[in-house]
Amino acid sequence: MKNIGVLTSGGDAPGMNAAIRAIVRKKFLEKKHRQKAYKNLCSKDIGSLIVIGGDGTFKGACEFKNEYPDINIIGIPSTIDNDLYGTDYTIGFDTACNTVVEAVDKIRDTASSHSRIFFVEVMGRDAGYIALYTGIANGAEEILIPETKTNIDDLVDNIKNRWRINKKSSIIIVAEGEETGGAVKVSQIVKEKLPDYEIRYTILGHIQRGGNPTMRDRLNASRMGYHAVKSLIIGEDKIMIGIMNDQIVKIPLERAVKNFKAVDKDLIEMMYILAI
């Protein structure tokens, strides 16, 4: 077998180091730069490529494979959004969630002390996994995600009802892709309807992409990296290494790109039931 190249692309995510880290830019998505990449691979006698990233990275990898079929490609899912089809888990998601949980715990302290309603925006432009998981874990009073419709009137009524039973602070987790426009927009609308309430918003931003990876991220990234190399050794090609029910799985790379990973309906139901 020839040498193996490792490529990471797209948004950074904690845990990539554990899967072997290299840095490239989005130029890989453009044909002229893929041509240059292919020449570089050939000059280094690299016949296989392990691609670490999200759906955009994998789309570029599929294009690359179609153009240069002699290069074997294996994908490792890495995105804090956890929205790739064919795997329960993507590298970086667990660390990002732990970062959010820790931050919201601290925001909860100040919200309680000053009887404030806090809208906390987390990442998730197209999928609400971070908001959903951390909102449930933090005991958020409301969780707003792209997959569900935001009813402002219900949101306002819920805040009022909590106030009546002397629950005067609330944490509302908002995914950045929520239909109203994120935490800033939602908080402004609610403030207009509740001018006498102490309403604040905070955007956690890129702290979700940084920090030391959790044990789970390190372990699963190592597992996927190990199985990616094993797959190349036995001649497998154009697949993604994933984890389903805590077991390593392999699916065609194109299937991971073309399909949408829906949020667990049980978690959405739990979100509504646990909201107070």
Q: What is the pLDDT of residues 118-148, one digit of tens each?
A: 999 999 988 999 999 999 999 999 999 999 8
The set of catalytic residues is: 81
Class of CATH domain 3-92+213-258: alpha beta
Whether the domain at 3-92+213-258 and the domain at 93-210 fall into the same CATH topology: yes
The pLDDT, as a whole number, for residue 28 is 60
Q: How high is the mean pLDDT of the chain?
A: 86
> For residue 23, is pLDDT > 80?
no
> For residue 2, is pLDDT > 50?
yes
Mean pLDDT value across residues 5-33: 53
Q: Map out the domains of the chain as residue ranges.
A: 3-92+213-258, 93-210
* DSSP code per residue over the chain: --EEEEEE-SS--TTGGGG------GGGGSHHHHHHHHHHHHHTTEEEEEEEE-HHHHHHHHHHHHH-TTSEEEEEEB-TT---TT-S--BTHHHHHHHHHHHHHHHHHHHHHTTEEEEEEES-SS--HHHHHHHHHHT-SEEE-TTS---HHHHHHHHHHHHHTT---EEEEEETT-TT-SHHHHHHHHHHH-TTSEEEEEE-GGGGG-SPPPHHHHHHHHHHHHHHHHHHHTT--SEEEEEETTEEEEEEHHHHHHS--PPPHHHHHHHHHH--
> For residue 201, is pLDDT > 50?
yes
Mean pLDDT value across residues 7-28: 47
> For residue 259, is pLDDT > 80?
yes
pLDDT one-digit tens code per residue, 232-249 = 889 999 999 999 999 999
pLDDT one-digit tens code per residue, 69-80 = 888 999 999 999
The pLDDT, as a whole number, for residue 86 is 95
Mean pLDDT value across residues 229-233: 91
The pLDDT, as a whole number, for residue 16 is 46
**Residue predicted with more confidence, 16 or 210:** 210
Fold of 93-210: Rossmann fold (3.40.50)
